[in-house]
Structure 1
Amino acid sequence: MNVSLRQLRAFLAVAGHRHFRRAADALHLTQPAVSRLIADLETELDVRLFDRSTREVVPTEAGRYLEQALSRVLDELDGVLAHARTQADPLRGRVRIAAVPTVSAGLVPAGIALCAARHPSLDILLRDQNQAQVLDAVRGGEVDFGLTVEPATREEFEAETILRDPFRLVCRDDHALAAQPSATWPMLADELLVLLDHASGSRRLIDAAFAERQLSMRVALEVGHPYTAFRMVEAGLGVTVTPALSLDALRPGLAVRRLEPEVRREVTLLRRRARSLSPPAQTVWDTFREVALTLA
């Protein structure tokens, strides 16, 4: 069969958008060009792939089968071609990483920027996800590696701790604790707490810090991101315990105090056990380690 990749990619675009003009815009082609590619493909396959109306374009039964099969095959082909390109330039290619929000905001930008300056042929894709999602993405091979808080099941990964990030107290600057040079964990026993929820890797460590000291916790609110916690604290709804890496998102009117004794979380690079990284992924891994050393 004389079927081209351009025809197949045009078919997937039309099937995905259900519209010729939107598909043409996505492919940076004219609408007549996309229509011709689809017509040629239908002629070559001797089957109708779309039912067309004035309002929408809907794949036929044959079209639905081809869409489902082609999506997988072309993804695999893209991966093969990307790998072939790296043979000429070991540091050319795409690296997929996943990171928990506090690390995404506090460490990842500097790491990606340094990689871009040193290795412009590297293409880095980031997933900003909670702890459980990052672990699942690494475990399932959806990303090359992850940046996360020390996992409870560390033994199932190849792991490297790159930073020990201390927890800090954040309160309003008119709060009684803001008048202290530092705070202790027992001082928080009677405070309303705004904490990250249990999808965060940090929450397990915060709960453990209270439990080890046999302190009660008055959790008023649970949120998914430190920035949300800061807004709740700003509104006078409590105080929060947060990793130091998250403090870049701090707003005026809030005070930061050290928590004594200091409790730290381990920021960790993770990859699947017994799986080596590609040269591009290893380069990005090493760069994040370097950036973490400067933060430390």
Structure 2
Amino acid sequence: MNVTLRQLHVFQSVAATRNFSRTGDAVGLTQPAVSRCITELEAQLGLQLFNRTTREVTLTDAGQRLAARLPRVLEELDNTLLDVQEMATARRGRVRVASSPTLSANLMPDCIAHCQATYPGLELLMLDRIQSAVLASVLSGEVDFGVVIDPSDREALHCETILTEPFCLACPPTHRLARKRNVRWADLQGEPLVLLDHDSGSRRLIDRALADHGVAGPVAHEVGHPTTIFRMLDAGLGISVIPTLALPPDGLAHLAVRPLLPRVDRDIVLAHRRHRALSPLAQTAWELVRGVAAQRLIKP
């Protein structure tokens, strides 16, 4: 049946007033429009709801049954619509966010702290995973969205870049390159490199930058986390190319860090499934992460 809310509200008013003209005044319709609504409703139901004469309007048995039950139905519908509408301003609940390791360590803690201070009812739950697992959890719907390094395949994702940062050189302070203020990619030629492994979203970008600048330095060690890189450089096992965001806030006391020229950047990206809108609560968390990242902008 193609019954409209307007027809039901008009019926309810006529049942109460027993007058088409007074109903028209109450609901903002002309008397013919009220009559048409009732006629269309009766046609959909296949029943006459009112007995009409020139002197009075009375409910039929079918009309009495509908009039008795309709107020509860309309009230429940109104409550349901109000409940759904409140989602637009909801600030209470849990949002699941997956992020890759360097971002989990160096961006997300600030986001979680800011969320607790700004939206106490919003629980930002972080899943710390390698990049491929982050993307898989986004596509499966396990999490609301992910925070990743520029993904190579965006076909199934809606992505927004929230931060762009350069790669830099880290090396022991006694290394020859530590004496330079700026280091060129070509200067890395022949040096043993300690790099993030291929589970990192950055490794693809680092390999491409090395190839673009003709660097054929051997990859001496591949590890899963920047902290391991720093310990290996402390031990004199090579030099490294790392993203700036991977540096501790207080810097590296026992290592030298130098810009790499020409500058090569990586993008930090928020990603959710394409054609799947975020819930209002997840959208609030998305905007919060974007705002915290904007405060971490890396200067050229």
TM-score relative to the length of structure 1: 0.69
* In structure 2, C-alpha distance between the alignment counterparts of 1:131 and 1:88, rounded to whole Å: 31
Please say if 1:195 is aligned against 2:195. Answer: yes
Deviations 1:223-280, CA, capped at 9 Å, x for gaps: 0001101111110000111011110175421010000001000000000011111122
* In structure 2, C-alpha distance between the alignment counterparts of 1:134 and 1:187, rounded to whole Å: 34
**What residue number does 1:98 align with?**
98
Q: 1:281 to 1:178 in 2, by over 3 A?
A: same
* In structure 1, C-alpha distance between the alignment counterparts of 2:95 and 2:157, rounded to whole Å: 18
On the 8 A contact 2:88/2:280 being kept in 1, the answer is no
Deviations 1:115-142, CA, capped at 9 Å, x for gaps: 1111000111111111101110101111
* In structure 2, C-alpha distance between the alignment counterparts of 1:130 and 1:273, rounded to whole Å: 21
Q: 1:88 to 1:158 in 2, by over 3 A?
A: closer
* In structure 2, C-alpha distance between the alignment counterparts of 1:88 and 1:276, rounded to whole Å: 13
Q: Which stretch shifts more, 225-234 or 240-249? A: 240-249
SS in 1 for 2:105: helix
SS in 2 for 1:155: coil
Please say if 1:243 is aligned against 2:217. Answer: no
Cα RMSD (Å) of the superposition?
1.7
* In structure 1, C-alpha distance between the alignment counterparts of 2:215 and 2:181, rounded to whole Å: 22
Please say if 1:205 is aligned against 2:205. Answer: yes
* In structure 1, C-alpha distance between the alignment counterparts of 2:269 and 2:219, rounded to whole Å: 27
TM-aligned CA deviation for residue 215 of structure 1: 2.0
The percentage of aligned residue pairs carrying the same residue is: 49
**What residue number does 1:269 align with?**
270
Question: What amino acid is aligned across from residue 235 of structure 1 in structure 2?
Answer: A
Deviations 1:76-109, CA, capped at 9 Å, x for gaps: xxxxxxx99x759611110000001111112111
* In structure 2, C-alpha distance between the alignment counterparts of 1:223 and 1:102, rounded to whole Å: 13
Question: What amino acid is aligned across from residue 121 of structure 2 in structure 1?
Answer: S
Q: Which runs of 5+ in 1 are unaligned?
A: 1-82
TM-aligned CA deviation for residue 209 of structure 1: 0.4
* In structure 2, C-alpha distance between the alignment counterparts of 1:120 and 1:279, rounded to whole Å: 16
Q: Which runs of 5+ in 2 are unaligned?
A: 1-82
SS in 2 for 1:165: strand
**What residue number does 2:132 align with?**
132
* In structure 2, C-alpha distance between the alignment counterparts of 1:88 and 1:238, rounded to whole Å: 53
Question: What amino acid is aligned across from residue 289 of structure 1 in structure 2?
Answer: R
**What residue number does 1:259 align with?**
260
SS in 1 for 2:282: helix
Q: 1:182 to 1:106 in 2, by over 3 A?
A: same
Q: 1:97 to 1:255 in 2, by over 3 A?
A: same
Please say if 1:182 is aligned against 2:182. Answer: yes
Deviations 1:183-206, CA, capped at 9 Å, x for gaps: 110111111000000000100000
On the 8 A contact 2:87/2:280 being kept in 1, the answer is no
SS in 2 for 1:216: coil
* In structure 2, C-alpha distance between the alignment counterparts of 1:180 and 1:164, rounded to whole Å: 24
TM-aligned CA deviation for residue 217 of structure 1: 2.8
TM-aligned CA deviation for residue 181 of structure 1: 0.4
Count of residue pairs brought into register by the alignment: 213
Deviations 1:35-76, CA, capped at 9 Å, x for gaps: xxxxxxxxxxxxxxxxxxxxxxxxxxxxxxxxxxxxxxxxxx
1:203-242 to structure 2, matched below 5 A, reads 203-242=203-242
* In structure 1, C-alpha distance between the alignment counterparts of 2:267 and 2:97, rounded to whole Å: 18
* In structure 2, C-alpha distance between the alignment counterparts of 1:89 and 1:282, rounded to whole Å: 11
On the 8 A contact 2:186/2:214 being kept in 1, the answer is no
**What residue number does 2:293 align with?**
292
TM-aligned CA deviation for residue 288 of structure 1: 1.0
* In structure 2, C-alpha distance between the alignment counterparts of 1:258 and 1:171, rounded to whole Å: 12
Q: 1:88 to 1:212 in 2, by over 3 A?
A: closer
Deviations 1:125-161, CA, capped at 9 Å, x for gaps: 1111111011101011110000000101012200000
Question: What amino acid is aligned across from residue 232 of structure 1 in structure 2?
Answer: M
Deviations 1:6-54, CA, capped at 9 Å, x for gaps: xxxxxxxxxxxxxxxxxxxxxxxxxxxxxxxxxxxxxxxxxxxxxxxxx
Question: What amino acid is aligned across from residue 253 of structure 2 in structure 1?
Answer: P
1:23-38 to structure 2, matched below 5 A, reads none
**What residue number does 1:107 align with?**
107
